Amino acid sequence: MTESATLMMAQRCRELRALGKDIIDLSLGEPDQDPPAFALEAARGALAENKWNKYPPVMGYPDLRAAIAHKFKRDNGLNYAPEQVMVSTGAKQAIMNVVIALAGPGDEVLIPAPFWVSYEAQVRFTGATPVLVRSTLEEDYKPPVERIIAAITPRTRLIMFSSPCNPSGSVLSLAELEQLAAAVLKWPNLFVISDEIYEHIIFNGSHRSIGALPGMLERTITVNGLSKAFALTGWRIGYIGAPTAVVQAANKVQGQFTSGANGIAQRVAKACVEADPALIAGLKDVYKRRRDLVLEGLKKIPGWACNVPQGAFYVLPDVRSSFRGSIQNSTGLSLHLLEHANVSLVEGDSFGAQGTVRISYATSDALLATALERVAKAVAELR
């Protein structure tokens, strides 16, 4: 397996900080806010109850799964039954379970690019073939749906994407989701993994779930989790709603790999999914302001070009204009910026976007402003 590019940069950053370096970390997609007080209160309450210490059921506590089924209906128009919901150690594991359950040697998995780094590695791990469907900056980093459909073959088992997209911030419109759904429904063995972990961070209009379109619930594995909406990355809870056969297969995988997710964290999850979504509605305003701040800052770097992200908290500038001398790719540039600007970004090649770097703007306005100044200066000094 390849090492996760995001986690590798985050680790480098920790190591450099431990050496006393003042690194601004824009590599990891991790909200800087504190989790909501009610979530931490739920953890304290669960500890005090002293009854969540044993192995939880592999699929998750029944009352949490019912609460998630209710959340899917309330927020997304998705009618998964509680038995079709499964809780995992992060959305990352939730996705891995499904990929293992559904794909293997001889299968193809379509991944519109750019994509979140772990998708490709997870597919390769199963022996299936990842088929990357590329897109360009001019296309807003969304492959036209016709291009995705044209890549479907009788071997295609899965199409997986995140909308809003990590790393481009692109959002699929309802018309695009409908067009894709119509094609998927023509292939009886084809499933969609719809990763909706950024559903609350969307700047124009509201989030739409492909699984809510007619006929699609039986074809869609909807992924979500606590990491982004509730700033609970460290508690490691993600979940899926999925067709019965898929969730049962995912249950077997998880039962052999890790068992049920952490019990106390599941109690926190219940409080989160039951909370009024209005409580986190403000997130999108915070991130929109930061997006605009970053886009303004990037304008000052000659030659760097990016799309205008419509959601999530990343910008993906094309930085090829800065390749010179010994720096001839995104990895070289990001390592140079780490050393000379003390700013940590992730190279975009691993996300299927050659010649780009990914900037996470899930950090304070002040740090973002300083980081952009440092990057602009280091880039201007490149010879």
Q: Can you tell me which residue has the tokens 């996705």?
A: 95
Task: Pick one of ligand PMP, ligand GLU, none as the site partner of residue 91 (Cβ within 5 to 8 A by kind).
Answer: ligand PMP
List 7, 305, 335, 369, residue binding ligand GLU (CB under 6 A): 7
Q: Which residue is nearest to ligand PMP (CB)?
A: 90
Rule CB under 6 A: is residue 29 a binding residue for ligand GLU?
yes
For residue 68, the SS3 value is helix
- Window contacting ligand GLU (CB under 6 A); options: 42-50, 114-122, 246-254, 281-289: 114-122
Q: Which does 28 bind (CB under 5 to 8 A by kind): ligand PMP, ligand GLU, none?
A: ligand GLU
Specify the residue, 100 or 180, whose C-beta has the smaller distance to ligand GLU.
100
Does position 166 interact with ligand GLU (CB under 6 A)? The reply is yes
CB of 186 to ligand PMP, least distance (A): 27
Determine the residue type at 168.
Answer: S
* Span interacting with ligand GLU, options 55-63, 113-121, 212-220, 287-295, rule CB under 6 A: 113-121
The continuous run of DSSP H or E covering 124 comes out as: helix 117-126
Sole binder of ligand PMP in the list 61, 72, 116, 230 (CB under 6 A): 116
Q: What angle do CA 76, 145, 96 make, to 5 degrees?
A: 55
Find which of ligand GLU, ligand PMP, none residue 271 binds, CB within 5 to 8 Å per kind: none
Strand order in the sheet with 108-112: 85-88, 238-241, 220-225, 191-195, 156-162, 108-112, 129-133
State the binding string over 287-326 for ligand GLU (x if CB under 6 A, else -).
----------------------------------------
Alpha-helical segments (H) within 198-319:
244-257, 263-274, 283-299
Asked if 159 and 110 touch (Cβ cutoff 8 Å), the reply is: yes
Neighbours of 295 (CB within 10 A): 16
Cβ atoms of 152 and 182 closer than 8 Å: no
Rounded CA-CA distance 364/275 in Å is 25
SS3 content of the chain, % helix, strand, coil (to 5): 45, 15, 40
Contact 351, 331 (CB under 8 A): no
Q: Which position among 6, 97, 220, 251 is part of the footprint of ligand GLU (CB under 6 A)? A: 6
Distance CA 127, CA 260 (A): 25
Q: Which 20-39 positions form the footprint of ligand PMP (CB under 6 A)?
A: 29
- Choices 78-86, 87-95, 318-326, 341-349 (CB under 6 A): range interacting with ligand PMP: 87-95
Query: Which residues in this chain contact ligand PMP in the complex, by CB under 6 A?
Result: 29, 90-92, 116, 162, 166, 195, 197, 225, 227, 233, 238
